[in-house]
Amino acid sequence: MEPRPSGTADETETGWVVAIGTSTGGLAPLGALIAQLPRELAAPVLVVQHIGPYRSGLAARLAGLGVLPAREACDGEPLRPGVVYVAPPDAHLLAGPQRLRLSHGPKVNHTRPAFDPLLRTCALAHGPRAIGVVLSGRLDDGTAGLQDIKLCGGLAIVQDPGTAEAREMPMSALNNVAVDHCLPPEAIGQLLARTVAQPPPPRQWPEAAVARIRREQAASEGRDTMAFLCADAEPGLQTCPDCGGTLWQVRGSRPPRYACHTGHVFSLHALARAQYAESEHVLRSAVRVLRERAALQRELEALERQRRDARAALQAGHEAHAARHQADSLVRLIEREEFGGGRPG
């Protein structure tokens, strides 16, 4: 590892930074963790929960569960120790060396805010002073970002899956990252309090890892996407569910990940979920069109009967019946997939 250059405004010395990510079933463990953090905590705490574009009262709830002030993050505000910053709706929360950034860039793992971009920027800006924590959630957001935290010398902590309502996010991290600690939420809070009370380690990064992580983060923000794809991915056969572009498979990613030229990124599981949602949308749109066609053909049948054109009326009736039958068959297919175990994740 080579020391990062210093002396510029962008490289000002910083202390510890804690990044926490969660999704389904995350409120209880997040609250239990926050309740263990002391008022004099020597690190900012950055929180991402998968809330999409919807308003959330998470910051206010966290403020009432512990002694630390908690608020939704604002673009450009300084990182201050002892403050909990929560990602707002429909924006990725990113960490700079001294300030927070909000990005409305492409979705990651079919969600915005996502946890991977926060972890990646913490790794880039803070290196071994970054601590990533994965709590309860479905699928595997956070795994790739936690790998970046480790590559830059930071600390990886995961909730014990046995204490999680949704085990997938913790299990994915455990299966694919050299995790430093796997603990119940309360114990994670206590560990964080002890860890950040110690002097932070020197700011040193492995330069090769930093270059690759920088390329991916730029692509994640919709900048220089082809530079990342050409250097770190191979063209694939899948198409992006979000924009329809070609997906490239990221080299050496574990679990497999895919990115498009727009900047959307998916893990294998997230891609399967997004494709399922897209196919369901297409099928339900087809059901609507077929039902509308059946209704129109019935009107046409009635009109032809008024005109005493029995042959045309019979043809319209047959087409109405066929359209209705096709719509009902699609509905049964969709319901069989939903309730018969076909839904991924």
Q: Is 317 among the domain residues? A: yes
**Long-range contacts of residues 91-95, Cβ cutoff 8 Å, at least 24 apart:** 92/117, 92/118, 92/220, 93/46, 93/48, 93/117, 93/118, 94/118, 94/121, 95/17, 95/19, 95/46, 95/121, 95/122, 95/125, 95/126
Residue 149: predicted pLDDT: 96
Same domain, 197 and 275: no
Same domain, 195 and 296: no
Residue 11: predicted pLDDT: 44
Q: Is 218 among the domain residues? A: no
Q: Which residues are catalytic?
A: 23, 50, 141
* 14 in Cβ contact with 79 (< 8 Å): yes
Coil, helix or strand for 166?
Answer: coil
Question: Per residue in 202-234, pLDDT tens?
Answer: 877 777 778 889 999 998 888 889 999 999 999
Give me the half-sphere count of Cα atoms (radius 13 Å) on the Cβ side of residue 5. 4
Question: Per residue in 41-81, pLDDT tens?
Answer: 999 999 999 998 888 899 999 999 999 999 999 999 999 99
The last residue of one of the domains, among 204, 222, 238, is 204
Same domain, 275 and 172: no
Coil, helix or strand for 297?
Answer: helix
Coil, helix or strand for 158?
Answer: strand
Residue 7 tokens read as 């002396």
Residue with tokens 């839904």: 343
Same domain, 75 and 175: yes
**Distance (Å, rounded) from C-alpha 172 to C-alpha 227?**
28
Number of domains in the chain: 2
Between the alpha carbon of residue 73 and those of residues 27, 96, 157, the distances in Å are 18, 13, 23
**Distance (Å, rounded) from C-alpha 28 to C-alpha 25?**
7
Name the nearest CA neighbour of 87 among 99, 100, 97. 100
Same domain, 72 and 179: yes
The residues near 67 (Cβ < 8 Å, ≥ 6 apart) are 37, 38, 39
The H-assigned helical ranges of the chain are 27-34, 58-63, 115-126, 143-151, 168-176, 185-196, 207-220, 225-232, 268-306, 310-339
Q: Is 249 among the domain residues? A: no
Same domain, 52 and 199: yes
Q: Is 37 among the domain residues? A: yes
pLDDT at 344 over 80: no
Question: Per residue in 275-327, pLDDT tens?
Answer: 877 777 788 888 899 899 999 999 999 999 999 999 999 999 999 999 999 98
pTM: 0.81
Same domain, 295 and 190: no
Q: Is 142 among the domain residues? A: yes
**Distance (Å, rounded) from C-alpha 163 to C-alpha 296?**
55
The last residue of one of the domains, among 149, 182, 204, is 204
Residue 157's domain comprises: 2-204
The H or E element that residue 256 is part of is none
Question: Per residue in 100-159, pLDDT tens?
Answer: 999 998 999 889 999 999 999 999 999 999 999 999 999 999 999 999 999 999 999 999
Give residue 6's pLDDT band: very low, low, confident or very high (50, 70, 90): very low
Same domain, 183 and 279: no
